[in-house]
Every structure is written in structure tokens, then in C-alpha cells.
Amino acid sequence: MLNAQCSVKSPLRFAFFGAGFWAACQLAAWREVKGARCVALYNRTRAKAEKLAAQFAQGSMPAVYDQAAELLRRERLDFVDIATNNDTHEEFVLLAARHRLPVICQKPMAPKLATCERMVAACRKAKVPFLIHENYRWQTPIRALATELKRGRIGPVFRARIDSISGFPDITMQPFLAELEEYILADLGTHILDVARFLFGEADSVFCRTQQVHQNIKGEDVATVMLGMKSGATVTCHLALAENFVERECFPQTLFFVEGSKGSIEVAPDYWVRVTTKDGTFAKRFPPPRYAWADPAYDVGQAAIVPCHENLLSALQRRGACETTAEDNLKTLKLVFGAYESAKKGALVRL
């Protein structure tokens, strides 16, 4: 539970675990959100944590640790935010649960579904909130698409296509990705399948084909996933980070084409959302907000961290519901692991 001395008016004190590629963005986004303050940093390589602490000192330097257990023993905290490699997530989530601390965990929750289920069960037993940092659904054009779908102008959706196809050198930017036995579905696919659920509801079947274009990686870098939705709609997700030449390069923007009984909605490059009905086509741009700390190459994704943090913090302050609890994220991960099962068997998987 939250520290008894805290109130909504007092910033919640948190520890941040990790000092990798996304850590600086995560902490920069927390500084945009009123109501939370990083007071401690953990990383197994202490020098990296010290460098990050100096960069994000807010009045006073966050305490630095290279032993997570020591940090949790010594610091007075209201929650823990974990952004380490996903094969360490279980250890740190269970540690936070033993200290009765609410925990936010970066996606993907863990490398195996059974591990994810153990983590959720442990936090449920400890009666502590367990939330997942899943920022894709908070991207500005995706929220605009969700709003338009709720308006219902195109009628019931019967088919949708989600395209996250790029020649962007993501593996060059994050070399550890080349070592993953399961790459694009576990990394990018976790985002995209969560977005599919957010926009179109739950699926009852999944069919998937995967491919490997890079020759120097262990996992798949291309995947095509077809979801049979409980609503009756079909949603096809095209994922690729093959580092090839792509004519319509818009990384990291995700593109959509949604067909309904009365019209269609397209989310096109450069953040254009076009709604077409019998009355014609209406178009409007929904660019992300600009932050000085955000890398223009990742702009739409990094800007989405801020509203994601706001939603997570609101839930921890008990002012609203969290959209991406760990319980909910299990449904996304069942799609991810179901897609891997389908690709391995070459068959439709019922959920």
C-alpha cells in the first residue's frame, strides 16, 4: 500500500530500477508529471546509475544503489518503477511485493507466460498494485483513432489493418535485441497487440507467420498476425524491423486502416487521421506534443510516455483506474505467446 504519510498533494516517492536505453526518457517523462519524485536509482552497474542520478537530480541527488534489496531496506518509498531487462523483472517485482510496495513494470512483463502469471499472483497475494508501463496506446494519433471509433460514424468494424513496418535500424540502436531468441513479437508485438485489444476488444483466435531477414540475429524480425475478434471483426497486424528500404518510412508511427459498415478510418503518415463516410472524407492531423528531451526519431513513442505515467500515477494516488494493469496485460501476452505457438505449428490457435 502507499506510504501512510503521503497524500495526493505530496509527491509520491519512487525508486527507478535500470539505466539502459529508455531510462533517461522514462525519468524525463516523470519530471513532466506532477505528483511523483524519484528518490533512488538502482542499476547493477553502479557507474551508470550515478550518471543517470546526476542528470535527473531534482533539488537533491537521488540515492544510488547497485543492490536492489539494500535500496528497498533503506529507502522510504511509495512505489517502484522497473525498467531493467525483462529476464530480471520477476526478481524485482517479487522483491517489491515482499516489501508491500506498488510496482510499475516495463513491457514485456517477462519472457514466459508462466513467469508473468507467477508475478501477477504474487502481487495479488501481497495485495499490492501491479501495473505495466504500456505507452503505445497513449500515442496521440492512436487516442484520436479510439475517440473516432467511439463516435461510431463508420458503423460496426468488420476489418482492420495495423501496420508497424520500418527499415529503421532499431537493432543498431539497441544491440541487445539481436541476441533475443524471440524478437519482434515479444518486443514490438507486445505493443501492437495491446493496441489491437484497446481499439477492437478481445480476440478468440490468432494465426501468425514469422520470418527472419537479418542474418546476424537470433530471433524473428518480421511477423504477420491475424486476429479473430470476439466481435466478429478480423484484425491483421503487419510487423517488420528488417532494416531494409521502405518507401513510406514513418518510424515509429503505427498506421491503421479500419473498415466499418458505414465508412472507414485511416491513420496515415505524418499523423493524419482521415474519416470517410457517405458525407465525404474529413482529415485532421494529430501530431504528438514536443518535448526537448525526446529524440525526434522516436518522437511519437517517447511523447506517449507522459500520459502513460499520468494514468499510472492517478491509479497509485487512487484518483482513477489504470488502463494497463498486469492482470489486463496478461491478455495481451496470451496473444503474443499464442502467436508464437501459431507460427511454430503453422496453425490457427484458439484462445
Distance linking the first and last C-alpha atoms of the chain: 34
How many Å apart are CA 110 and CA 204, to the nearest integer? 23
* Contact of 105 with 132, CB cutoff 8 Å: yes
Please give the pLDDT value at position 247: 65
Give the closest residue to 334 by CA, choosing from 244, 227, 174: 227
Give the pairing type, strands 157-166 and 255-260. antiparallel
Alpha-carbon gap, residue 226 to 64, rounded angstroms: 45
User: pLDDT per position in the chain (351 positions), as tens?
Assistant: 454 444 446 899 999 999 998 899 999 999 999 899 999 999 999 999 999 999 876 667 899 999 999 999 999 999 999 999 999 999 999 999 999 999 999 999 999 999 999 999 999 999 999 999 999 999 999 999 999 999 999 999 999 999 999 887 778 777 888 888 999 999 999 999 999 999 999 999 999 999 999 988 999 999 999 999 999 999 999 999 988 877 667 788 999 999 999 999 999 999 999 999 999 999 999 999 999 999 887 889 999 999 999 999 999 999 999 999 999 999 999 999 999 999 999 999 999
Q: Which domains, and CATH codes, for the chain?
A: 12-133 (3.40.50.720), 136-286+327-350 (3.30.360.10)
Cβ-proximal residues to 128 (8 Å cutoff; 6+ apart), any chain: 1, 96, 97, 100, 101, 102, 103
For residues 33 and 310, is the Cβ–Cβ distance under 8 A?
yes
pLDDT of residue 9: 67
Q: Rounded distance, CA 318 to CA 339, Å?
A: 35
Ramachandran class of 18: left when φ > 0, alpha when ψ lies in -120 to 50, beta otherwise: left
> What is the distance between the alpha carbons of residues 268 and 263, in angstroms, rounded to a whole number?
16
Under 8 Å between Cβ of 312 and 322: yes
Cβ(199)–Cβ(149) below 8 Å = yes
